[in-house]
């Protein structure tokens, strides 16, 4: 197994021989509070996924037993002097979240403990979220910093859990537990603890690695477009139906054999 990103000990990146990558937030003493370097490194990993098919899925998790990620390290906000700093910060964060959201392979957030603020947004932009039963998800900014979420992040939450629950979480500053998260559709499964959650995420990632990558890529992109009212789809329909994979899938189905996907 090769290890990448050793220049930043706060964020670890492993690319396994099984084609599954794992990104781990590695500041457990600080409840994995995110630095700008961690954000940028995560975005870089998502933007530079190998095009040779060696990576099939990416899992994002946090080290330690307390938190997935407890948001942006609050000490970073001490340098802010006015509204322009907030605008620049949210624009910077949108580039990060956009990189995760548009990652070329499926992303799975394996969540445990506190998943708040920027950490909760990262989980929200992943394709699949699996959580341990000690999950605490939310945005307690109305009782802490007094800042706000960007319209893009509110739209993401609205698409995931609906406007009423989004308002409720932010207005009350409460944290959503695992049972409610499952009921609301935020997460797809509840696991016993962090280790079980990570193992399950890897099982799901390996299962997806057997499926047509273009189908997943097109679905991700179309859902992102639909959120903003863009229903254009001809390019992605042509990508899938015109691909070698489509013909391979057809022939494999008729021959009653497993298809060999290549991603083109």
Q: Is residue 160 scored above 90 in pLDDT?
A: yes
Q: Give the CATH number of domain 2-208.
A: 3.90.226.10
Q: Is residue 8 scored above 80 in pLDDT?
A: no
What is the pLDDT, as a whole number, of residue 54? 86
pLDDT band at 25 (very low <50, low <70, confident <90, very high): very high
Tokens of 122: 């990262």
Residues 185-199 have a mean pLDDT of 97
What are the extents of the domains in the chain?
2-208, 213-254
Q: For 28-146, where are the E strands, in sequence order?
A: 57-62, 67-70, 107-111, 114-116, 128-132, 136-138
Contact (CB, 8 A) for 199 and 213: no
What is the pLDDT, as a whole number, of residue 137? 98
What is the pLDDT, as a whole number, of residue 42? 98
pLDDT band at 24 (very low <50, low <70, confident <90, very high): very high
pLDDT in tens, 230-244: 999 999 999 999 999
Choose among 245, 262, 227, 220: nearest CA to 107: 220
pLDDT band at 5 (very low <50, low <70, confident <90, very high): very low
Tokens of 150: 């960007």
What is the pLDDT, as a whole number, of residue 7? 44
What is the pLDDT, as a whole number, of residue 80? 95
DSSP 58-72: EEEEESSSSEEEESB
């Amino acid at each position: 197994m090769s290890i990448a990103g050793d220049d930043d000990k706060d964020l670890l990146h492993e690319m396994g021989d099984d084609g599954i990558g794992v990104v781990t937030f590695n500041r457990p003493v600080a409840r994995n509070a995110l630095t700008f370097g961690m954000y940028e490194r995560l975005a870089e990993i998502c933007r530079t996924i190998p095009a040779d098919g060696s990576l099939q899925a990416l899992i994002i998790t946090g080290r330690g037993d307390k938190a997935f990620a407890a948001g942006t390290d609050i000490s970073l906000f001490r340098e802010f002097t006015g509204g322009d700093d907030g605008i620049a910060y949210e624009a910077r964060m949108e580039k990060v979240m956009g990189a995760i959201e548009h990652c070329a392979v499926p992303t799975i957030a394996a969540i445990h403990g506190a998943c708040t603020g920027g950490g909760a947004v990262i989980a929200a932009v992943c394709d699949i979220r699996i959580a341990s039963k000690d999950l605490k998800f939310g945005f307690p900014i109305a009782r802490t910093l007094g800042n706000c979420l960007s319209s893009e992040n509110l739209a993401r939450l609205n698409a995931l859990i609906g406007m009423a629950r989004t308002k409720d979480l932010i207005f009350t500053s409460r944290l959503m537990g695992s049972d409610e998260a499952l009921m609301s559709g935020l997460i797809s499964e509840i696991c016993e603890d962090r280790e079980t959650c990570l193992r399950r995420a890897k099982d799901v990632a390996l299962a997806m690695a057997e499926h047509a990558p273009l189908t997943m890529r097109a679905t991700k992109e179309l859902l992102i477009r639909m959120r903003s009212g863009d229903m254009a789809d001809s390019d992605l329909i042509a990508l899938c139906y015109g691909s070698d994979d489509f013909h391979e899938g057809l022939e494999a189905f008729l021959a009653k054999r497993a298809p060999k996907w290549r991603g083109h």
